[in-house]
Structure 1
Amino acid sequence: MTSSVSTSEYDVVIVGGGHNGLTAAAYLARAGLSVAVLERLDHTGGAAVSARAFPGRPTRLSRYSYLVSLLPDQVVRDLGLDLRLAPRVTASYTPVMRDGVPGGLLVERPEGAATAASFRSVTGSDAEYEAWRAFYAAVGDLAGVVAPTLTAPLPREGELRARVDARIWRDLVERPLGEAVERRFADDTVRGVVATDALIGTFASLRAGSLVQNRCFLYHLIGNGTGEWQVPVGGMGAVTEALATAATAAGAVLVTDAEVTAIRPEDGGAEVRVAGRTLRTRFVLANVAPWVLAGLLGETPDPAARPVGAQLKVNLLLDRLPRLRSGADPRTAFAGTLHLGEGYDELETAYAQAAAGQVPIRMPGEVYCHSLTDPTILGDVPEGTHTLTYFGLHLPATLFDDPATRAERKAEAVARAIASLDEHLIDPIASVVARDADGRPCIEAKIPQDIEADLNMPGGHIFHGDLAWPWADDRADLTAPADRWGVATDHPAVLLCGSGARRGGAVSGLGGHNAARAVLESR
């Protein structure tokens, strides 16, 4: 990386050095274009970074984003990325208390006899597991149709609908997801496990008519046609490092400490103002939220359209994994997604409380132990040390808007998150959490306002705004390359290349890939 640009003219200037910007840079530089990536921070990567969060501790945590599913194998092959994604042996574990007896719902990866037995134990019969298998088989068929289109020009809705079973299309695309969950499943725990994929980073009722929860659900289950979420070996920073290496090897210039202050479209290109200089370029790729882009373009964005994030991220370092009341092996229970307070009724109650301005009394959230899958992130630590990541749902930024009460509400949310885990543990988190060099508990928490301050994501929204369907309306005009690839803005020389692109969101590289393809078709 460099601290300055070497010329005032480039074929493409990319604003923002997150993983999508690096993806676009690698593709375009490999095609022979001159490319400059401008990043306001002192490092690239955006939310896909690894960091030593605790003084005196060598462990590198995936500080913001933490799993990979939507990154296409095609992108990894195209760019020759030196990257390994490791599968998790457990898909999920949900501790439950039934009639005062602790237990848990285990879903293996791949599912086997233990999964079937767990469903039978928790629900009392084989009916729920049969419904589960039928539902996810249908979802898999849909994913198999949609996933290959993500790195191609936008398909039209009718083309995809004609290739998919009408019942699953209705359930996931046309009607609120909650209807399908309530109709297909009877057990509250099973319903909740299914429903949570619709709420990661999305604040909505499962019955919402906007269907924003349906779109979130779809993105969480279509990655590479399988929907499997994997752990990047070396942490999320390994994704960024592989992309940055590919971009620089191809000739792209990566400039850090370079905050863009204005973008001015003009005939045949645009001007980009950065660090007291003006760069001229044929194309600007905006790897920033559309809300931020509007400001750079000199526009006044509608305050009502400002994104609102809705999550709590807590990173922890433990001296050892705690034991569960259910008796489940912690190395199995924590190896995948451990669901807390995510029964179906609990999810809806928490949403209603948050919508009314309260921190939910029983906070829904999920826990991950990445070091069970990838111990390389730990560094030189005592045996038994592990990371733990908590991701809380239904905590919109509006709950923390008042600076006078923000710290108190954040502390309340963190306390409730830990309490939701302690409820199912023999060893409370306080008894196993590690201490940093100053003797403080190794606990780092991020509310939406922290995400915005750290990463310039408006409202702390991890998707830069509500996700869109990954296809075009049947009547949409797809004449221009930027429209065909879902990266258009109101200015022909300015394209979206981040999570705000039509098929953006999550660590996927899709925004960058698709913006690069649109540029190459426009030359």
Structure 2
Amino acid sequence: MAAAVWTGRGRRSAAVVNTVIRSRSGSSGTALKSQYDALVIGGGHNGLVAAAYLQKGGLKTAVLERRYVLGGAAVSEEIIPGFRFSRCSYLLSLLRPHIYKDLELKKHGLRVYLRDPHAFTPMLEEGVRGAPPRSLTLGSDLAMNQREISKFSHKDAKAFPAYVAHLEKLAEAIHPLLDAPPVNIPGVTTGSLRRRLAAAKTLMPIVKCGLKLGKNIPDFYEIITAPIMKILNQWFESEPLKATLATDAVIGAMTSPNNPGSGYVLLHHVMGELENEKGAWGYVEGGMGGVSQAIARAARSYGVDIFTEKDVKQVLVDSDRVAKGVVLNDGTEIHSRVVLSNATPHVTYKHLVPQAALSPEFIRATDQIDYTSPVTKLNVAVDKLPNFLASPTPDNKAGPHHQCSIHLNCESVEFLEAAYKEAMNGRPSVRPMLEMTIPSVLDPTLAPPGCHVVSLFTQFTPYHIEGREWTEQDREAFADTVFDWVEQYAPGFKNSVVGRDILVPPDLERIFGLTGGNIFHGSMSLDQLYLARPLPCLSDYRSPVKGLYLCGSGSHPGGGVMGSPGWNAALAVMADLKRR
């Protein structure tokens, strides 16, 4: 059971319940047909993007979602009556601008609240001569950032603008790689000259990336391979600044800032844009389900049939290893020319595809994909805002810092390292890294007047606790640990809690289909990116079963509410059908 609802001022009710108020986000009212051109398994944002482009391309398409609500991990749910949560994914930045524009998502109801400032890191320390403890606030105003950083280091304040410009240049160079499949290595290296010339077109994004980088190619190579601390130590000396920046290098990843490859995770999290502002993150009105609903409305406007509570049991594969449709759990068969899976590679190839249709070698390779996750998500309903010692707001009115990503236990990289090591030893962190967001500060639709919804994205927690499964007592104990730490930064927080929803890695797997609880559909490590995502033999959205494609975050370019996997997969499908 994933949710514990509290009543009163922090007193837990006698029963632990999982109350979900269902929203009208399901089927379109259209009857399910027995034949389609394309079927998409899973109504997450990538599946909906793929469906929209396939339908625009002339293919009659249907989306089949297992749950009662659309969105996959980008979903809004009213867990506690009156409080609407972005239950899993909670911020928007990476959605590709051309998808935003092509699908006219604003027209279809997508509204985003930009945050400025972006990050707030309060300290746990004694104030000087009665002053509040120090804090670090970062936003779009570089002069303000420098003033904030100078509380800890004048040298770092001076270096910060150059660091931001450097990172933006590296992140901008990645963009050509996001909107295209990886290089077609077999096509470029084998076959006829005509085939090689056709495949050579897939080299263009790499060429564009290289041209954008220019003399910065060595810096790019370093950041995608190095521990992020190697990079940050070259620029800065103050621990609060380095730890705050390092959180983007480990968020969602079971890794340490001192591990190779953590630099790419940071780059992945800063390469987005929102409302033409590079690197900006924002809240979606109504929660992250607002993104999925806008894409679904766009898809329906083109003619896509979308169904919820349609649990796909298996992909139908004929004797020639060609996908012919799907069979639902109730036995209903639906036939199609192609099938796209928005599920993880593990779910797709270990549960949906008949094992006889795959070679033993491929199954073994699939078993090696890393889905390790460090994440426990807590969704909390409160009757007043947290009042931080480092930036007091005793009147329950929101300060600028309340709209930020609030980083707790992030004063030092040592804290992050220690938390990581505990999880790697099979234990939940006793001083977890906490990223708190309070979207209701900007979006009043999420909570009753005067109340708020709080998201706590916490690390590090293992999938198993010292080899055993999580119990309800374990969930409650970890949530209590998190609340105790929040209480130190914002006394009175625990007494403001109305209810809480606790999602440890096995819960994220069970509810959202995220294998291992991994929010990216597979670790974003160097051995599982680009040509190797999800496998070196499987990086072009196609599969060993002809007519079956991956369109989720387990394919290139990976996780986040981006839409690129769905877009790229749809292009691969349409290219293949033209050749048939």
> By the TM > 0.5 criterion, same fold?
yes
Structure 1 range deviating more: 303-312 or 139-148: 303-312
Separation in 1 of the partners of 2:104 and 2:89?
A: 22
Aligned to 1:415: 480
Is 1:253 the counterpart of 2:305? The answer is yes
1:346 aligns with 2:415: yes
Q: How does 1:504-519 map to 2 (within 5 A)?
A: 504-519=558-573
Q: What does 1:256-295 correspond to in 2, within 5 Å?
A: 256-266=308-318, 267=320, 269-274=323-328, 275-294=330-349, 295=351
1:15 aligns with 2:79: no
Q: Please give the alpha-carbon distance, in whole angstroms, between the structure 2 residues aligned to 1:149 and 1:308.
A: 25
Deviation at 1:100, TM superposition (A): 5.7
The aligned residue for residue 139 of structure 2 is 109
Match of 2:161 among 133, 148, 159: 133
> In structure 1, which of residues 387, 405, 430 is the aligned counterpart of residue 494 of structure 2?
430
User: 5+ unaligned residues in a row in structure 2: which ranges?
Assistant: 1-26, 184-202, 356-362
Q: 2 CA distance for matches of 1:324 and 1:221?
A: 27
Alignment of 1:137-156 (within 5 A): 137-154=165-182
Pick from 432, 440, 457: which aligns with 1:371?
440
Match of 2:288 in 1: 236
Provide structure 1 residue ranges, at least 5 long, that are not aligned to the other structure: 434-440
Amino acid at match of 1:452: E
Q: Which residue identity lines up with residue 105 of structure 1 in the other structure? A: S
CA distance in 1, matches of 2:370, 2:166: 35
Contact 2:142 2:161 in 1 (8 A): no
Contact map agreement 1:5 1:36 (CA 8 A) in 2: no
Cα distance in 2, alignment partners of residues 269 and 449 from structure 1:
30
What aligned pairs does 1:437-452 form with structure 2 within 5 A after superposition? 441-452=498-509
- Deviation string, structure 1 residues 430-487 (Cα, Å, up to 9, x no partner): 2222xxxxxxx3122111111112112221111111126697559xx99x9x95xx42
Distance 2:309 2:466 in 1: 29
- Provide the C-alpha distance between the structure 2 equivalents of 1:153 and 1:499, rounded to a whole number of angstroms: 13
1:447 maps to amino acid? V
| Inter-partner Cα distance in structure 2 for 1:4 and 1:260 | 18
CA gap of 1:104–1:493, structure 2 versus 1, over 3 A, is farther
1:332 matched to 2:388: no
Q: Alignment identity in percent?
A: 29
Displacement of 1:218: 2.0
Distance 1:172 1:100, change over 3 A: same
SS class of match (1:37): strand
Give the conservation status (yes or no) of the 8 Å contact 1:86–1:233: yes
> In structure 1, what residue type is equivalent to 2:175?
A
> Which one-letter code corresponds to 1:206 in the other structure?
P
Quick check: 1:355 aligned with 2:409?
A: no
Paired with 1:507 and 1:460, the residues of 2 have a C-alpha distance of 16
Distance change in 2, residues 1:400/1:282 (3 Å): farther
| Paired AA for residue 45 in structure 2 | H
Aligned residue for 2:79, secondary structure, equals coil
How far, CA to CA, are the matches of 1:269 and 1:54 in structure 2? 41
Say which SS state the counterpart of residue 416 (structure 2) adopts: helix
CA-to-aligned-CA distance 1:360-418 (integer Å, 9 cap, x gap): 2211111001011212222xx23x32221111012121238624x52232222211211
Amino acid at match of 2:38: V
Corresponding residue number in structure 2 for 1:38: 64
Given that residues 376 and 504 in structure 2 are in contact (C-alpha distance below 8 angstroms), is that contact kept between their aligned partners in structure 1?
yes
Alpha carbons 1:400, 1:449 under 8 Å: kept: no
Q: 1:70 to 1:280 in 2, by over 3 A?
A: same
Label 1:472 to 1:45 Cα distance change in 2 as closer, same or farther (>3 A): closer
Matched residue type, 2:332: R
2:59 and 2:32 map into 1 onto residues whose CA distance is: 15
Answer yes or no: is the 8 Å Cα contact 1:171–1:177 preserved in 2: no
Greater Cα shift, 219-228 or 322-331:
322-331
Output the CA distance in 1 between the equivalents of 2:418 and 2:72. 33
Kindly state the Cα deviation for residue 161 of structure 1 after the two structures are TM-superposed: 4.3
Instruction: Render the CA deviation track for 1:203-228: whole Å, top value 9, x for unaligned.
Output: 0122224x2x2332222111138221
- 1-side partners of 2:376 and 2:400: how far apart? 24
SS in 2 for 1:414: helix
- Please identify, of 493-502 and 126-135, the stretch whose mean Cα deviation from structure 2 is larger: 126-135
Give 2:51's aligned amino acid. Answer: A
* Rounded Cα–Cα distance in structure 1 between residues aligned with 2:206 and 2:70: 39
Cα pair 1:468 1:503 within 8 Å, conserved: no
Task: Give runs of aligned pairs for residues 216-235 of structure 1, distance below 5 A.
Answer: 216-224=265-273, 226-235=278-287
Q: Which amino acid aligns with 2:401?
A: A
Distance in 2, matches of 1:487 and 1:5, equals 29
Whole-angstrom CA distance in 1 between matches of 2:436 and 2:471: 24
Q: Secondary structure at the match of 1:501?
A: coil
Offset, 1:171: 3.2
Query: Structure 2: how far apart are the matches of 1:147 and 1:206?
Result: 24
Aligned match of 1:500 in 548, 554, 566? 554
CA–CA distance in structure 2, aligned partners of residues 39 and 390 of structure 1 = 27
In structure 1, what is the Cα distance between the partners aligned to 2:466 and 2:471? Answer: 5
Tell me which amino acid in the other structure corresponds to 2:508.
I
Confirm or deny: 8 A CA contact 1:105 1:119 kept in the other structure. no
Q: Does 1:52 align with 2:78?
A: yes
- Tell me the distance in 1 between the aligned counterparts of 2:545 and 2:466: 35
Q: Name the CA shift for 1:251/1:401 in 2 (closer, same or farther; >3 Å).
A: farther
Contact 2:146/2:160 (CA < 8 Å) preserved in 1? no
What SS class does the counterpart of residue 334 from structure 1 fall into? helix
Partner of 1:438: none
Tell which deviates more after alignment, 300-309 or 230-239. 300-309
d(CA) in 2 for partners of 1:158, 1:27: 24
**Residue 3 of structure 1: CA displacement?**
7.7
CA distance in 2, matches of 1:139, 1:374: 30
Amino acid at match of 1:515: A
**Paired letter, 1:319:** D
Task: Give me the whole-angstrom Cα distance separating, in 2, the residues matched to 1:107 and 1:140.
Answer: 19
By how many angstroms is 1:327 displaced? 3.2
2:173–2:210 Cα contact (<8 Å) kept: no
What one-letter code is carried by the residue in structure 1 that aligns with 2:425?
A: A
Distance 1:148 1:377, change over 3 A: farther
TM-score, normalisation: structure 1: 0.88
Counterpart in the other structure of 2:14: none
Give the Cα–Cα distance (whole angstroms) in 2 for the partners of residues 23 and 133 of structure 1.
Answer: 36
Structure 1 residues 281, 104: closer, same or farther in 2, change over 3 A? farther
2:471 is paired with a residue whose SS is: helix
Structure 2 residue identity aligned to 1:168:
D
- Give the number of equivalent residue pairs: 499
Cα distance change on mapping 1:158 and 1:194 into 2, 3 Å: same
Cα gap change, 1:130/1:171 in structure 2, threshold over 3 Å: closer, same or farther?
farther
Of the candidates 93, 96, 113, which is equivalent to residue 123 of structure 2?
96
Alignment CA distance shift 1:104-1:501 (3 Å): farther
Aligned equivalent of 1:437:
none
Does 168-177 or 21-30 show the bigger shift?
168-177
SS in 2 for 1:312: strand
Report the more deviating stretch, 221-230 or 151-160: 151-160
Q: 1:203-218 alignment to 2 at 5 Å?
A: 203-209=254-260, 211=261, 213-218=262-267
Give the match for residue 74 of structure 1: 98
Mapped partners of 1:87, 1:51: distance in 2: 22
Pick closer, same or farther for the CA change 1:278–1:66 going to 2, 3 Å. same
What secondary structure does 1:163 align onto?
Answer: helix
Distance (Å, rounded) in 1 between the aligned partners of 2:367 and 2:571: 32
Whether the 8 Å contact between 1:331 and 1:372 is mirrored in structure 2 is no
Structure 1 residues 24-65: Cα deviation after superposition (integer angstroms, max 9, x where no partner): 11111122211111111222211111111113xx22111111
Distance 1:116 1:11, change over 3 A: same
Q: SS in structure 2 opposite 1:53?
A: strand
* Cα distance in structure 1, aligned partners of 2:235 and 2:288: 36
Q: Which amino acid aligns with 1:395?
A: T
Counterpart of 1:173?
224
